[in-house]
Amino acid sequence: MTVSSEQPSTILFISTFPPVKCGIASFTQDLVQAIGRVLTKDIEINICALDVKSNEGLYKAPVSMVMDSHSLDDCIETAAAINSDVHIKMICVEHEFGLYGGELGEYLLGFLAMIEKPFVIRYHTVLPDPDAKRLALVRKINQLADKVIVMTRNSARLLLDAYGLSAEKIVVIPHGTHNNSQMSVRELKRKYQLDNRQVLCTFGLLSPNKGIEEGILAMRKICAHFPGSMYIVLGQTHPNLIAHEGERYREYLQELIEQNSLQNNVRLVNEYVPVDKLMEYLALTDIYLFTSKDPNQAVSGTFLYAMSAGCAIISNSFVLAHEMLDTQTGIILTTNNEDELAEKAIQLLGNEPLRKRMGQNAFLRTRDTTWQKVSKKHATLFLNMLQAGGLHTASFSQLAN
C-alpha cells in the first residue's frame, strides 16, 4: 500500500525514556534521534515510556503513551491500545529483566502474547547458565519475536548455545557511540580546572555494583607516584538506589576520600551531564577506569563511549572487555582489586606513548559503532520488516547516501 504523508506510519519503541535517568532511557533517546535522521516524513518513531501513570504529564513527544510495566492490567490495556492503533506498524521492545513486573519480568510475556503487530526485542543483558524458569521465559519471548537484537557477539552465542534460539532470528547491532569533542585537551583541562594534571575518569549512574571504591583506594598509590593526578567520578546516584537508601553510597565514597586524605586527588561530580559535556570530560581523560563488579555484564555504553573518545582503558574483567580489548587497546585486570588497578595505572601514566597508542587503537576499534552507522543498521532491519508486512515506503531512501 502507499503511505499517506498526512498519516505517517509509526514504529513504536517500548522503553524507559528521559526524563527517567537510566542507561536504557539514554540509549533509546540517542537511537531514535539517530534513526530519525534517516527517515522521511511517511514514517515516524513514537515511544511507549515505561513508567507509572502518575508521571504521564512529565513526557513530551516522541512519547505517545505510558505503560506501567509492573502492572499486569496496564500491560494488557496497553497491548489492546497498540493493536487498535492502525498507524503502528511495528514495535521495538527494549528488554532488561528489572524493567518489567512479575517473576523475572514475566509481565512482558503477557504483553507480547497479546500484541498483534510484528516486533523485535533487544536484550540488553543475556545471562549465561539460565535456570529452568529463566530459560523457559526467554524461549517463549523468542518464539513470539520476529527478530532478536543483541549488541555483542558473545550475547548472540549465548542465545544460540544456552537458549536454543535459531541463528536466523538473531541480529547483532552494537551499542552506538557519539562524536568526540573538537576542543583541544589543553583547552578542556583549563575549562575544568585540571591544568597540568593527569586525569583518570569513571562515569555513569552510581551504585555499589559499579565498584567506585576500588578506583578511590587505588588513588592512594597512584597519587604517591603522580601527586598531580586526579580521579573524576562523574554521575549522579542511580534513582532506584536513592529511592531505597538515599545518598548513603555517595556519602560512603566521600568518607573514603576523606579518610585517605584524597580530597585533592578525587573529585565526585554529582551531575547527570549532557552528551556534549560528557564527551568533553572523556576527551581530557588520560585513563578511563571501568570498575564494575558484574563479570556477566553484556554491554556498557559508558565503556564504549570511553573507547570511542580515544581513552586508554583499564577494566575489570567482564564480557564486553574481552570482546573489545586486547593488549593493543587496553588492559583487563585479572584480580579486579585496587592494587592491580594502581599498578597498571602507574604503568600507563608513566608511559605516554603507550597510553596514547592504546587510546588511538581503542578509537579505531569503535569506528563501526557510531550512531550514524548503528542507526542505518536499524533502519535496514525495520525497512525489511515493514516491507515483509506489505508496507511500501521510501522512508529509508537516505540509506544509500
pLDDT computed for residue 388 by the predictor? 81
pLDDT computed for residue 392 by the predictor? 58
- Tell whether 117 and 203 lie within a shared domain: no
Is residue 336 left, alpha or beta, with left meaning phi > 0 and alpha meaning psi from -120 to 50?
Answer: left
Q: Which domain holds residue 299?
A: 185-368
pLDDT computed for residue 1 by the predictor? 31
CA dihedral 74, 32, 289, 298 (to 10 degrees): 60
Strand order in the sheet with 170-172: 63-67, 43-50, 9-15, 88-95, 119-123, 147-150, 170-172
- Tell whether 76 and 168 lie within a shared domain: yes
Mean pLDDT of the chain: 92
Is 4 within the bounds of a domain? no
pLDDT computed for residue 391 by the predictor? 63
Is 299 within the bounds of a domain? yes
The DSSP secondary-structure symbol of 2 reads: B
Beta strands 170-172 and 330-332, pairing class: unpaired
- Tell whether 208 and 157 lie within a shared domain: no
Residue 272 has pLDDT above 90, yes or no: no
**Which tens digit of pLDDT belongs to each residue from 117-169?**
999 999 999 999 999 999 999 999 999 999 999 999 999 999 999 999 999 99
Is 3 within the bounds of a domain? no
Q: What is the number of residues in the chain?
A: 401
Q: Which of 137, 136, 270, 126 is nearest to 206 (CA)?
A: 270
Is 226 within the bounds of a domain? yes
- Tell whether 55 and 161 lie within a shared domain: yes
Residue 4 has pLDDT above 50, yes or no: no
* Torsion sign (Cα): 144, 145, 151, 155: positive
Average pLDDT over residues 161-182: 94
DSSP line for 225-288: H-TT-EEEEE-PBPHHHHHHHTTHHHHHHHHHHHHTT-TTTEEEE-----HHHHHHHHHT-SEE
pLDDT computed for residue 160 by the predictor? 96
What CATH number has the domain bearing residue 190? Answer: 3.40.50.2000
Is 2 within the bounds of a domain? no
pLDDT band at 394 (very low <50, low <70, confident <90, very high): low
Residue 395 has pLDDT above 60, yes or no: no
Alpha helix ranges (H) inside 269-370: 275-283, 301-308, 319-324, 338-349, 352-365
Average pLDDT over residues 273-294: 94
Whether 362 contacts 313, CB under 8 Å = yes
pLDDT computed for residue 6 by the predictor? 67
| Neighbouring residues of 103: CB distance < 8 A, sequence distance ≥ 6 | 133
* Residue environment code for 241-256, b if the CB has 16+ CB neighbours within 10 A, otherwise e: bbeeeeeebbeebbeb
pLDDT band at 390 (very low <50, low <70, confident <90, very high): low
- Cα 83 versus chain centre, distance: 29
- Tell whether 363 and 246 lie within a shared domain: yes
pLDDT computed for residue 400 by the predictor? 39
Report cis status (omega within 30 of 0) of the bond before 8. Answer: no
- Tell whether 39 and 168 lie within a shared domain: yes
pLDDT computed for residue 84 by the predictor? 97
The number of folded domains in the chain is 2
Please, is 307 exposed, middle or buried when counting C-beta atoms within 10 Å of its C-beta (0-12, 13-18, 19+)?
Answer: buried
- The least confident of 88-92, 164-168, 271-275 is 271-275
**Which tens digit of pLDDT belongs to each residue from 199-244?**
999 999 999 999 999 999 999 999 999 999 999 999 999 888 998 8
Amino acid code (one letter) for 109: L
* Residue environment code for 264-289, b if the CB has 16+ CB neighbours within 10 A, otherwise e: ebbbbeeeeeeeeebbbbbbbbbbbb
H or E segment at 30? helix 23-36
- Tell whether 196 and 155 lie within a shared domain: no
- Tell whether 211 and 332 lie within a shared domain: yes
**Which tens digit of pLDDT belongs to each residue from 252-262?**
999 999 999 99
- Tell whether 253 and 146 lie within a shared domain: no
